[in-house]
Structure 1
Protein backbone atom coordinates (compact mmCIF):
# COMPACT_ATOMS: atom_id res chain seq x y z
CA UNK A 1 0.00 0.00 0.00
CA UNK A 2 1.22 3.49 -0.80
CA UNK A 3 2.22 5.64 2.15
CA UNK A 4 -0.84 7.50 3.48
CA UNK A 5 -3.16 6.65 0.58
CA UNK A 6 -6.27 8.82 0.35
CA UNK A 7 -9.50 6.83 0.38
CA UNK A 8 -12.78 8.56 -0.51
CA UNK A 9 -16.16 6.94 0.20
CA UNK A 10 -19.20 8.15 -1.77
CA UNK A 11 -22.57 7.26 -0.24
CA UNK A 12 -26.13 8.42 -0.76
CA UNK A 13 -26.81 8.93 2.98
CA UNK A 14 -24.61 9.65 5.99
CA UNK A 15 -27.13 7.69 8.08
CA UNK A 16 -26.53 4.56 6.01
CA UNK A 17 -22.76 5.02 6.10
CA UNK A 18 -22.75 5.29 9.89
CA UNK A 19 -24.95 2.21 10.35
CA UNK A 20 -23.40 -0.02 7.68
CA UNK A 21 -19.88 1.11 6.68
CA UNK A 22 -18.26 2.83 9.67
CA UNK A 23 -16.25 -0.29 10.69
CA UNK A 24 -14.68 -0.42 7.21
CA UNK A 25 -13.69 3.26 7.51
CA UNK A 26 -12.15 2.56 10.94
CA UNK A 27 -10.21 -0.41 9.57
CA UNK A 28 -8.88 1.76 6.75
CA UNK A 29 -7.81 4.44 9.23
CA UNK A 30 -5.99 1.83 11.31
CA UNK A 31 -4.10 0.76 8.19
CA UNK A 32 -2.92 4.31 7.58
CA UNK A 33 -5.41 5.59 5.02
CA UNK A 34 -6.54 9.22 5.08
CA UNK A 35 -10.30 8.63 4.96
CA UNK A 36 -12.79 11.06 3.40
CA UNK A 37 -16.55 10.59 3.04
CA UNK A 38 -18.90 12.37 0.61
CA UNK A 39 -22.63 12.30 1.41
CA UNK A 40 -25.57 14.70 1.21
CA UNK A 41 -26.15 16.79 4.34
CA UNK A 42 -28.24 14.97 6.96
CA UNK A 43 -28.38 14.71 10.78
CA UNK A 44 -25.72 11.98 10.84
CA UNK A 45 -22.94 14.11 9.31
CA UNK A 46 -21.68 15.19 12.80
CA UNK A 47 -21.21 11.48 13.58
CA UNK A 48 -18.88 11.16 10.60
CA UNK A 49 -16.82 14.12 11.76
CA UNK A 50 -16.73 12.75 15.32
CA UNK A 51 -14.94 9.67 13.96
CA UNK A 52 -12.19 11.80 12.36
CA UNK A 53 -13.58 11.32 8.87
CA UNK A 54 -13.16 14.26 6.49
CA UNK A 55 -16.62 15.04 5.14
CA UNK A 56 -17.55 16.56 1.77
CA UNK A 57 -21.08 17.58 0.87
CA UNK A 58 -22.46 15.57 -2.03
CA UNK A 59 -25.11 17.00 -4.37
CA UNK A 60 -27.30 13.92 -4.78
CA UNK A 61 -31.09 13.63 -4.85
CA UNK A 62 -31.79 10.04 -3.87
CA UNK A 63 -35.20 9.69 -5.56
CA UNK A 64 -34.76 12.13 -8.44
CA UNK A 65 -35.09 11.03 -12.06
CA UNK A 66 -34.69 14.55 -13.46
CA UNK A 67 -32.01 14.27 -16.19
CA UNK A 68 -30.65 17.77 -15.51
CA UNK A 69 -30.32 17.06 -11.78
CA UNK A 70 -28.61 13.75 -12.50
CA UNK A 71 -26.18 15.46 -14.88
CA UNK A 72 -25.41 18.08 -12.21
CA UNK A 73 -24.60 15.27 -9.78
CA UNK A 74 -22.10 13.72 -12.22
CA UNK A 75 -20.46 17.11 -12.88
CA UNK A 76 -20.26 17.75 -9.13
CA UNK A 77 -18.58 14.36 -8.61
CA UNK A 78 -16.04 15.05 -11.36
CA UNK A 79 -15.15 18.34 -9.66
CA UNK A 80 -14.97 16.64 -6.25
CA UNK A 81 -12.61 13.93 -7.52
CA UNK A 82 -10.33 16.49 -9.14
CA UNK A 83 -10.21 18.57 -5.94
CA UNK A 84 -9.72 15.70 -3.46
CA UNK A 85 -7.52 13.58 -5.79
CA UNK A 86 -8.19 10.23 -4.10
CA UNK A 87 -5.90 7.26 -4.64
CA UNK A 88 -8.97 5.05 -4.29
CA UNK A 89 -12.68 5.86 -4.34
CA UNK A 90 -15.27 3.47 -2.90
CA UNK A 91 -18.81 4.03 -4.22
CA UNK A 92 -21.70 2.72 -2.13
CA UNK A 93 -25.31 1.96 -3.23
CA UNK A 94 -26.87 2.20 -6.65
CA UNK A 95 -26.77 5.89 -7.52
CA UNK A 96 -23.38 6.39 -5.94
CA UNK A 97 -22.04 3.46 -7.96
CA UNK A 98 -23.62 4.52 -11.26
CA UNK A 99 -22.77 8.23 -11.21
CA UNK A 100 -19.56 7.82 -9.26
CA UNK A 101 -18.10 5.26 -11.66
CA UNK A 102 -18.87 7.47 -14.67
CA UNK A 103 -17.35 10.52 -12.96
CA UNK A 104 -14.31 8.52 -11.85
CA UNK A 105 -13.49 7.51 -15.42
CA UNK A 106 -13.81 11.09 -16.66
CA UNK A 107 -11.78 12.49 -13.73
CA UNK A 108 -9.17 9.72 -14.14
CA UNK A 109 -9.42 8.43 -10.59
CA UNK A 110 -6.72 5.73 -10.52
CA UNK A 111 -8.60 3.03 -8.57
CA UNK A 112 -12.31 2.38 -8.05
CA UNK A 113 -14.42 0.08 -5.87
CA UNK A 114 -18.14 -0.11 -6.70
CA UNK A 115 -20.20 -1.69 -3.91
CA UNK A 116 -23.84 -2.57 -4.50
CA UNK A 117 -26.03 -2.96 -1.43
CA UNK A 118 -28.87 -4.34 -3.57
CA UNK A 119 -30.54 -3.75 -6.94
CA UNK A 120 -33.74 -2.33 -5.50
CA UNK A 121 -36.91 -1.16 -7.19
CA UNK A 122 -35.23 -0.87 -10.60
CA UNK A 123 -34.70 -4.65 -10.82
CA UNK A 124 -37.76 -5.84 -8.90
CA UNK A 125 -40.45 -4.06 -10.98
CA UNK A 126 -41.19 -4.57 -14.64
CA UNK A 127 -43.37 -1.70 -15.84
CA UNK A 128 -42.67 -0.13 -19.24
CA UNK A 129 -41.15 2.94 -17.56
CA UNK A 130 -38.94 0.83 -15.29
CA UNK A 131 -37.74 -1.31 -18.20
CA UNK A 132 -36.76 1.81 -20.12
CA UNK A 133 -34.90 3.34 -17.16
CA UNK A 134 -33.20 0.00 -16.49
CA UNK A 135 -31.97 -0.20 -20.10
CA UNK A 136 -30.53 3.33 -19.90
CA UNK A 137 -28.86 2.52 -16.56
CA UNK A 138 -27.26 -0.64 -17.94
CA UNK A 139 -25.87 1.19 -20.98
CA UNK A 140 -24.39 3.89 -18.74
CA UNK A 141 -23.00 1.21 -16.42
CA UNK A 142 -20.98 -0.34 -19.24
CA UNK A 143 -18.99 2.89 -19.51
CA UNK A 144 -18.57 3.41 -15.78
CA UNK A 145 -17.63 -0.20 -15.06
CA UNK A 146 -15.13 -0.20 -17.89
CA UNK A 147 -12.53 1.42 -15.62
CA UNK A 148 -9.34 -0.62 -16.12
CA UNK A 149 -8.46 -0.71 -12.42
CA UNK A 150 -11.77 -1.36 -10.67
CA UNK A 151 -13.58 -4.03 -8.68
CA UNK A 152 -17.32 -4.35 -8.14
CA UNK A 153 -18.63 -5.86 -4.91
CA UNK A 154 -22.00 -7.61 -4.72
CA UNK A 155 -23.59 -9.10 -1.63
CA UNK A 156 -25.25 -12.13 -3.23
CA UNK A 157 -24.61 -14.33 -6.29
CA UNK A 158 -27.97 -13.56 -7.93
CA UNK A 159 -26.97 -9.92 -8.31
CA UNK A 160 -23.57 -10.94 -9.68
CA UNK A 161 -25.27 -13.05 -12.35
CA UNK A 162 -27.64 -10.19 -13.22
CA UNK A 163 -24.74 -7.98 -14.35
CA UNK A 164 -22.39 -10.64 -15.70
CA UNK A 165 -25.06 -12.37 -17.80
CA UNK A 166 -26.10 -9.04 -19.31
CA UNK A 167 -22.50 -8.37 -20.32
CA UNK A 168 -22.14 -5.30 -18.12
CA UNK A 169 -19.28 -6.76 -16.05
CA UNK A 170 -16.61 -9.42 -16.51
CA UNK A 171 -16.68 -11.98 -13.75
CA UNK A 172 -12.97 -11.31 -13.08
CA UNK A 173 -13.90 -7.78 -11.97
CA UNK A 174 -16.45 -9.00 -9.42
CA UNK A 175 -15.99 -9.82 -5.74
CA UNK A 176 -18.70 -11.39 -3.56
CA UNK A 177 -18.79 -10.10 0.04
CA UNK A 178 -21.87 -11.30 1.89
CA UNK A 179 -23.62 -8.36 3.51
CA UNK A 180 -22.37 -5.57 5.74
CA UNK A 181 -21.35 -7.83 8.60
CA UNK A 182 -22.52 -7.94 12.19
CA UNK A 183 -20.56 -7.62 15.42
CA UNK A 184 -21.49 -10.87 17.14
CA UNK A 185 -20.39 -9.50 20.52
CA UNK A 186 -22.95 -6.66 20.28
CA UNK A 187 -25.68 -8.77 18.73
CA UNK A 188 -25.53 -11.70 21.12
CA UNK A 189 -28.12 -14.28 22.19
CA UNK A 190 -30.82 -13.39 24.67
CA UNK A 191 -33.35 -15.79 26.21
CA UNK A 192 -36.77 -15.72 24.62
CA UNK A 193 -39.13 -13.42 26.53
CA UNK A 194 -42.39 -14.64 28.09
CA UNK A 195 -45.41 -15.37 25.89
CA UNK A 196 -47.42 -14.26 24.03
CA UNK A 197 -44.89 -14.51 21.19
CA UNK A 198 -43.89 -11.31 19.39
CA UNK A 199 -42.97 -11.13 15.70
CA UNK A 200 -41.30 -7.99 14.36
CA UNK A 201 -40.70 -6.58 10.91
CA UNK A 202 -37.77 -4.16 11.28
CA UNK A 203 -36.88 -2.18 8.17
CA UNK A 204 -37.43 0.98 6.19
CA UNK A 205 -41.22 0.95 6.04
CA UNK A 206 -41.82 0.81 2.31
CA UNK A 207 -44.37 -1.42 0.64
CA UNK A 208 -41.67 -3.35 -1.28
CA UNK A 209 -40.41 -4.70 2.04
CA UNK A 210 -43.64 -6.69 2.33
CA UNK A 211 -45.33 -4.51 4.93
CA UNK A 212 -48.78 -5.12 3.41
CA UNK A 213 -48.26 -8.88 3.38
CA UNK A 214 -47.06 -8.80 6.99
CA UNK A 215 -50.19 -6.94 8.09
CA UNK A 216 -52.43 -9.33 6.15
CA UNK A 217 -50.67 -12.37 7.63
CA UNK A 218 -51.24 -10.91 11.12
CA UNK A 219 -54.95 -10.55 10.29
CA UNK A 220 -55.16 -14.15 9.07
CA UNK A 221 -53.51 -15.46 12.23
CA UNK A 222 -55.74 -13.29 14.41
CA UNK A 223 -58.80 -14.83 12.70
CA UNK A 224 -57.43 -18.29 13.50
CA UNK A 225 -57.34 -17.33 17.17
CA UNK A 226 -53.54 -17.36 17.41
CA UNK A 227 -52.40 -15.40 20.43
CA UNK A 228 -49.43 -13.33 19.28
CA UNK A 229 -48.28 -9.74 18.78
CA UNK A 230 -46.98 -8.30 15.52
CA UNK A 231 -44.93 -5.11 15.39
CA UNK A 232 -43.41 -2.85 12.73
CA UNK A 233 -40.06 -1.29 13.69
CA UNK A 234 -38.81 1.58 11.57
CA UNK A 235 -39.95 4.82 10.02
CA UNK A 236 -41.73 6.04 6.94
CA UNK A 237 -39.77 7.83 4.22
CA UNK A 238 -41.68 10.81 2.82
CA UNK A 239 -39.23 11.09 -0.11
CA UNK A 240 -39.92 7.53 -1.24
CA UNK A 241 -43.06 7.04 -3.39
CA UNK A 242 -43.34 3.46 -2.07
CA UNK A 243 -43.23 4.47 1.60
CA UNK A 244 -46.03 3.40 3.90
CA UNK A 245 -47.73 6.68 4.95
CA UNK A 246 -47.30 7.62 8.59
CA UNK A 247 -51.09 8.01 8.91
CA UNK A 248 -51.47 4.35 7.96
CA UNK A 249 -48.84 3.28 10.49
CA UNK A 250 -50.63 5.23 13.23
CA UNK A 251 -53.97 3.71 12.23
CA UNK A 252 -52.61 0.17 12.50
CA UNK A 253 -51.01 0.99 15.84
CA UNK A 254 -54.33 2.25 17.21
CA UNK A 255 -56.66 -0.37 15.68
CA UNK A 256 -54.51 -3.39 14.86
CA UNK A 257 -53.63 -5.92 13.72
CA UNK A 258 -50.03 -4.69 14.12
CA UNK A 259 -48.22 -2.32 16.47
CA UNK A 260 -45.84 0.40 15.30
CA UNK A 261 -42.80 0.80 17.54
CA UNK A 262 -41.22 3.59 15.48
CA UNK A 263 -37.56 4.02 14.62
CA UNK A 264 -35.23 2.29 17.08
CA UNK A 265 -31.45 2.42 17.35
CA UNK A 266 -31.22 -0.08 20.23
CA UNK A 267 -31.76 -3.13 18.01
CA UNK A 268 -30.19 -5.72 20.34
CA UNK A 269 -32.83 -4.87 22.97
CA UNK A 270 -35.56 -4.93 20.28
CA UNK A 271 -34.54 -8.47 19.30
CA UNK A 272 -34.37 -9.43 22.99
CA UNK A 273 -38.06 -8.50 23.29
CA UNK A 274 -39.12 -10.45 20.19
CA UNK A 275 -39.51 -14.16 19.54
CA UNK A 276 -39.11 -14.13 15.75
CA UNK A 277 -38.24 -11.76 12.90
CA UNK A 278 -40.06 -11.43 9.60
CA UNK A 279 -39.08 -9.66 6.37
CA UNK A 280 -41.42 -10.55 3.48
CA UNK A 281 -39.49 -8.36 1.04
CA UNK A 282 -39.97 -8.47 -2.72
CA UNK A 283 -37.32 -5.76 -3.16
CA UNK A 284 -33.99 -6.75 -4.77
CA UNK A 285 -31.92 -6.79 -1.59
CA UNK A 286 -28.18 -7.20 -1.15
CA UNK A 287 -28.37 -9.13 2.12
CA UNK A 288 -30.64 -7.40 4.65
CA UNK A 289 -28.55 -6.49 7.66
CA UNK A 290 -31.52 -6.84 9.98
CA UNK A 291 -31.77 -10.54 9.15
CA UNK A 292 -28.09 -11.11 9.94
CA UNK A 293 -28.54 -9.22 13.23
CA UNK A 294 -31.65 -11.26 14.06
CA UNK A 295 -29.85 -14.54 13.38
CA UNK A 296 -26.88 -13.41 15.52
CA UNK A 297 -29.35 -12.82 18.36
CA UNK A 298 -30.71 -16.37 17.92
CA UNK A 299 -34.06 -15.34 16.53
CA UNK A 300 -35.72 -17.51 13.86
CA UNK A 301 -36.50 -15.74 10.58
CA UNK A 302 -39.40 -15.90 8.14
CA UNK A 303 -38.57 -14.19 4.86
CA UNK A 304 -39.09 -14.49 1.12
CA UNK A 305 -37.31 -16.70 -1.36
CA UNK A 306 -35.72 -13.66 -2.99
CA UNK A 307 -32.12 -12.74 -3.86
CA UNK A 308 -30.35 -11.63 -0.71
CA UNK A 309 -32.99 -12.85 1.74
CA UNK A 310 -32.36 -16.49 0.89
CA UNK A 311 -28.62 -16.08 1.51
CA UNK A 312 -29.06 -15.82 5.27
CA UNK A 313 -31.97 -18.28 5.72
CA UNK A 314 -31.43 -22.00 5.24
CA UNK A 315 -35.03 -23.10 4.80
CA UNK A 316 -36.18 -25.27 7.68
CA UNK A 317 -32.91 -24.83 9.61
CA UNK A 318 -32.85 -21.26 10.96
CA UNK A 319 -36.15 -20.08 9.52
CA UNK A 320 -38.52 -20.42 6.60
CA UNK A 321 -38.58 -19.08 3.04
CA UNK A 322 -41.94 -18.24 1.47
CA UNK A 323 -42.96 -17.01 -2.00
CA UNK A 324 -42.96 -13.19 -2.35
CA UNK A 325 -46.28 -11.32 -2.12
CA UNK A 326 -48.10 -14.35 -0.64
CA UNK A 327 -49.69 -13.42 2.69
CA UNK A 328 -51.27 -16.86 3.12
CA UNK A 329 -47.95 -18.69 2.79
CA UNK A 330 -46.38 -16.11 5.11
CA UNK A 331 -49.07 -16.73 7.76
CA UNK A 332 -48.55 -20.51 7.51
CA UNK A 333 -44.80 -20.17 8.01
CA UNK A 334 -45.24 -17.79 10.94
CA UNK A 335 -47.70 -20.24 12.51
CA UNK A 336 -45.00 -22.95 12.55
CA UNK A 337 -42.69 -20.61 14.45
CA UNK A 338 -45.31 -19.18 16.80
CA UNK A 339 -46.64 -22.54 18.00
CA UNK A 340 -43.33 -24.22 18.83
CA UNK A 341 -40.96 -22.70 21.42
CA UNK A 342 -38.55 -25.62 20.94
CA UNK A 343 -38.39 -25.00 17.19
CA UNK A 344 -37.70 -21.31 17.83
CA UNK A 345 -34.78 -22.15 20.11
CA UNK A 346 -33.30 -24.71 17.71
CA UNK A 347 -33.64 -22.41 14.71
CA UNK A 348 -32.19 -19.50 16.66
CA UNK A 349 -29.09 -21.46 17.66
CA UNK A 350 -28.54 -22.58 14.06
CA UNK A 351 -28.93 -19.00 12.83
CA UNK A 352 -26.16 -17.71 15.09
CA UNK A 353 -23.89 -20.51 13.90
CA UNK A 354 -24.50 -19.47 10.27
CA UNK A 355 -23.68 -15.83 11.08
CA UNK A 356 -20.45 -16.76 12.84
CA UNK A 357 -19.38 -18.90 9.88
CA UNK A 358 -20.38 -16.62 7.00
CA UNK A 359 -21.48 -13.11 8.00
CA UNK A 360 -19.29 -11.80 10.81
CA UNK A 361 -18.15 -8.19 10.72
CA UNK A 362 -14.51 -9.29 10.91
CA UNK A 363 -14.90 -11.30 7.72
CA UNK A 364 -16.55 -8.45 5.80
CA UNK A 365 -13.88 -5.96 6.88
CA UNK A 366 -11.06 -8.37 6.04
CA UNK A 367 -12.49 -9.16 2.59
CA UNK A 368 -12.99 -5.45 1.83
CA UNK A 369 -9.42 -4.62 2.82
CA UNK A 370 -8.28 -7.41 0.48
CA UNK A 371 -10.08 -5.70 -2.42
CA UNK A 372 -8.27 -2.45 -1.59
CA UNK A 373 -4.95 -4.31 -1.50
CA UNK A 374 -5.60 -5.84 -4.93
CA UNK A 375 -6.01 -2.42 -6.47
CA UNK A 376 -3.24 -0.65 -4.58
CA UNK A 377 -0.68 -3.32 -5.42
Structure 2
Protein backbone atom coordinates (compact mmCIF):
# COMPACT_ATOMS: atom_id res chain seq x y z
CA UNK A 1 0.00 0.00 0.00
CA UNK A 2 1.44 3.33 -1.09
CA UNK A 3 0.16 6.40 0.76
CA UNK A 4 0.45 9.77 -0.96
CA UNK A 5 0.04 12.92 1.11
CA UNK A 6 -0.87 15.61 -1.43
CA UNK A 7 -1.95 19.23 -1.51
CA UNK A 8 -3.19 21.19 -4.50
CA UNK A 9 -4.70 24.20 -2.78
CA UNK A 10 -3.27 27.68 -2.92
CA UNK A 11 -4.38 27.87 0.72
CA UNK A 12 -1.96 25.05 1.62
CA UNK A 13 1.17 27.13 1.81
CA UNK A 14 2.68 25.34 4.78
CA UNK A 15 4.20 21.90 4.65
CA UNK A 16 1.96 19.72 6.86
CA UNK A 17 4.83 17.33 7.58
CA UNK A 18 7.99 19.44 7.81
CA UNK A 19 11.24 17.63 8.45
CA UNK A 20 9.58 14.36 9.41
CA UNK A 21 10.97 10.97 8.55
CA UNK A 22 8.23 9.14 6.71
CA UNK A 23 7.82 5.40 6.19
CA UNK A 24 9.06 4.07 2.86
CA UNK A 25 5.50 3.63 1.55
CA UNK A 26 4.53 7.29 2.19
CA UNK A 27 5.10 9.90 -0.51
CA UNK A 28 4.62 13.62 0.12
CA UNK A 29 3.85 15.89 -2.85
CA UNK A 30 2.45 19.27 -3.76
CA UNK A 31 0.38 18.91 -6.93
CA UNK A 32 -1.38 21.23 -9.32
CA UNK A 33 -5.07 20.59 -9.93
CA UNK A 34 -4.47 18.29 -12.92
CA UNK A 35 -1.94 16.30 -10.91
CA UNK A 36 -4.43 15.95 -8.08
CA UNK A 37 -7.11 14.69 -10.48
CA UNK A 38 -4.63 12.15 -11.85
CA UNK A 39 -3.87 11.04 -8.29
CA UNK A 40 -7.60 10.62 -7.56
CA UNK A 41 -7.93 8.60 -10.76
CA UNK A 42 -5.12 6.21 -9.78
CA UNK A 43 -6.28 5.85 -6.16
CA UNK A 44 -8.21 2.92 -4.73
CA UNK A 45 -9.99 5.37 -2.40
CA UNK A 46 -9.32 8.76 -0.79
CA UNK A 47 -8.63 9.40 2.90
CA UNK A 48 -9.49 12.77 4.48
CA UNK A 49 -8.43 12.81 8.15
CA UNK A 50 -9.73 15.91 9.93
CA UNK A 51 -9.52 17.66 13.27
CA UNK A 52 -12.83 17.70 15.16
CA UNK A 53 -13.86 21.25 14.33
CA UNK A 54 -17.32 22.79 14.04
CA UNK A 55 -16.87 24.10 10.49
CA UNK A 56 -16.64 22.11 7.29
CA UNK A 57 -13.07 21.40 6.33
CA UNK A 58 -12.05 19.02 3.58
CA UNK A 59 -15.44 19.21 1.86
CA UNK A 60 -14.05 20.05 -1.57
CA UNK A 61 -11.60 17.13 -1.41
CA UNK A 62 -14.44 14.78 -0.50
CA UNK A 63 -16.68 16.03 -3.31
CA UNK A 64 -13.84 15.90 -5.86
CA UNK A 65 -12.97 12.33 -4.89
CA UNK A 66 -16.63 11.29 -4.99
CA UNK A 67 -17.04 12.92 -8.41
CA UNK A 68 -14.09 10.81 -9.57
CA UNK A 69 -15.93 7.69 -8.37
CA UNK A 70 -13.79 7.10 -5.29
CA UNK A 71 -14.93 5.95 -1.87
CA UNK A 72 -13.95 8.42 0.85
CA UNK A 73 -12.69 7.61 4.32
CA UNK A 74 -13.19 10.73 6.45
CA UNK A 75 -13.32 11.81 10.05
CA UNK A 76 -16.79 12.19 11.53
CA UNK A 77 -16.54 15.68 13.04
CA UNK A 78 -19.01 18.11 14.58
CA UNK A 79 -19.32 19.61 11.09
CA UNK A 80 -19.28 16.33 9.14
CA UNK A 81 -21.91 13.94 10.38
CA UNK A 82 -23.13 10.82 8.63
CA UNK A 83 -24.82 11.77 5.39
CA UNK A 84 -23.66 15.39 5.29
CA UNK A 85 -21.20 14.43 2.57
CA UNK A 86 -20.00 10.87 3.15
CA UNK A 87 -22.69 8.29 3.84
CA UNK A 88 -21.06 5.74 6.13
CA UNK A 89 -20.96 2.32 4.47
CA UNK A 90 -22.60 3.65 1.29
CA UNK A 91 -20.23 6.22 -0.27
CA UNK A 92 -17.31 5.68 2.07
CA UNK A 93 -16.46 5.20 5.72
CA UNK A 94 -16.53 7.61 8.65
CA UNK A 95 -14.16 7.23 11.59
CA UNK A 96 -14.17 8.91 15.01
CA UNK A 97 -11.94 11.95 15.48
CA UNK A 98 -8.58 11.36 17.12
CA UNK A 99 -8.69 7.59 16.60
CA UNK A 100 -5.77 6.48 14.40
CA UNK A 101 -6.67 2.83 15.05
CA UNK A 102 -10.13 3.30 13.53
CA UNK A 103 -8.60 5.19 10.60
CA UNK A 104 -6.15 2.32 10.04
CA UNK A 105 -8.98 -0.25 10.21
CA UNK A 106 -11.01 1.67 7.62
CA UNK A 107 -8.01 1.91 5.28
CA UNK A 108 -7.26 -1.81 5.66
CA UNK A 109 -10.95 -2.66 5.14
CA UNK A 110 -11.18 -0.89 1.77
CA UNK A 111 -7.69 -1.92 0.67
CA UNK A 112 -8.45 -5.60 1.32
CA UNK A 113 -11.95 -5.41 -0.16
CA UNK A 114 -11.56 -3.61 -3.51
CA UNK A 115 -15.08 -4.62 -4.56
CA UNK A 116 -16.52 -2.72 -1.58
CA UNK A 117 -14.30 0.28 -2.38
CA UNK A 118 -15.51 0.24 -6.01
CA UNK A 119 -19.17 -0.13 -4.97
CA UNK A 120 -18.89 2.80 -2.54
CA UNK A 121 -17.08 4.85 -5.19
CA UNK A 122 -19.83 4.16 -7.74
CA UNK A 123 -22.44 5.17 -5.16
CA UNK A 124 -20.44 8.32 -4.40
CA UNK A 125 -20.36 9.27 -8.08
CA UNK A 126 -24.14 8.80 -8.36
CA UNK A 127 -24.72 10.99 -5.28
CA UNK A 128 -22.59 13.79 -6.74
CA UNK A 129 -24.27 13.55 -10.15
CA UNK A 130 -27.74 13.67 -8.57
CA UNK A 131 -27.14 16.42 -6.02
CA UNK A 132 -24.35 18.67 -7.34
CA UNK A 133 -25.61 19.85 -10.69
CA UNK A 134 -26.85 23.09 -12.21
CA UNK A 135 -30.57 22.33 -11.79
CA UNK A 136 -30.16 21.49 -8.11
CA UNK A 137 -28.04 24.60 -7.54
CA UNK A 138 -30.63 26.88 -9.18
CA UNK A 139 -33.48 25.23 -7.26
CA UNK A 140 -31.65 25.73 -3.94
CA UNK A 141 -30.79 29.35 -4.73
CA UNK A 142 -34.42 30.00 -5.64
CA UNK A 143 -35.51 28.58 -2.27
CA UNK A 144 -33.07 30.92 -0.51
CA UNK A 145 -34.23 33.97 -2.48
CA UNK A 146 -37.87 33.17 -1.72
CA UNK A 147 -37.11 32.65 1.99
CA UNK A 148 -35.27 35.98 2.17
CA UNK A 149 -38.18 37.69 0.42
CA UNK A 150 -40.62 36.18 2.92
CA UNK A 151 -38.45 37.35 5.84
CA UNK A 152 -38.36 40.88 4.41
CA UNK A 153 -42.14 41.08 4.39
CA UNK A 154 -43.11 40.13 0.90
CA UNK A 155 -42.73 37.38 -1.61
CA UNK A 156 -39.55 37.45 -3.62
CA UNK A 157 -40.23 37.90 -7.29
CA UNK A 158 -38.62 34.85 -8.71
CA UNK A 159 -39.19 33.33 -12.08
CA UNK A 160 -39.00 29.67 -12.89
CA UNK A 161 -35.35 29.21 -13.99
CA UNK A 162 -36.44 27.21 -17.03
CA UNK A 163 -38.49 30.18 -18.29
CA UNK A 164 -35.59 32.63 -18.01
CA UNK A 165 -33.81 33.66 -21.21
CA UNK A 166 -30.34 32.27 -21.70
CA UNK A 167 -27.66 34.58 -23.07
CA UNK A 168 -24.97 33.20 -25.30
CA UNK A 169 -21.80 34.81 -26.54
CA UNK A 170 -19.79 37.52 -24.83
CA UNK A 171 -20.88 41.05 -23.93
Superposed structure 1 runs of 4+ greater than 6 Å apart: none
Change (3 A) 1:361 1:264: farther
Aligned pairs for 1:278-293 (under 5 A) are 278-282=47-51, 283-286=53-56, 288-293=59-64
CA contact (8 A) 1:285 1:309 kept: no
Aligned counterpart in structure 1 of residue 112 of structure 2, from 328, 336, 339 = 339
Paired positions, count = 142
User: Per the alignment, in what secondary structure is the counterpart of residue 33 of structure 2?
Assistant: coil
Query: 1:298 and 2:69 equivalent?
Result: yes
Query: 1:269 and 2:38 equivalent?
Result: yes
Q: Which residue number in structure 2 is paired with residue 349 of structure 1?
A: 122
Instruction: Please give the TM-score of this superposition, normalised by the length of structure 1.
Output: 0.34
Instruction: Please give the TM-score of this superposition, normalised by the length of structure 2.
Output: 0.70
CA distance in 2, matches of 1:326, 1:246: 22
Aligned pairs for 1:62-101 (under 5 A) are none
Q: Which residue number in structure 1 is paired with residue 100 of structure 2?
A: 327
Aligned pairs for 1:140-289 (under 5 A) are 228-234=1-7, 236-238=12-14, 244-248=16-20, 251-252=21-22, 256-266=24-34, 267-282=36-51, 283-286=53-56, 288-289=59-60
How many Å apart are 1:246 and its aligned residue? 4.0
Q: Which has the higher helix share?
A: 1
Structure 1 gaps of 5+ residues are: 1-227
How many Å apart are 1:302 and its aligned residue? 0.8
Query: 1:313 and 2:89 equivalent?
Result: no
CA distance in 1, matches of 2:25, 2:54: 27
CA RMSD of aligned residues (A): 2.5
CA distance in 2, matches of 1:345, 1:316: 12
How many Å apart are 1:284 and its aligned residue? 3.1
Bigger Cα Rg: 1
User: Per the alignment, in what secondary structure is the counterpart of residue 332 of structure 1?
Assistant: helix
How many Å apart are 1:336 and its aligned residue? 0.8
Change (3 A) 1:247 1:309: farther
Structure 2 gaps of 5+ residues are: 150-155, 158-171
How many Å apart are 1:263 and its aligned residue? 3.0
CA contact (8 A) 1:280 1:325 kept: no
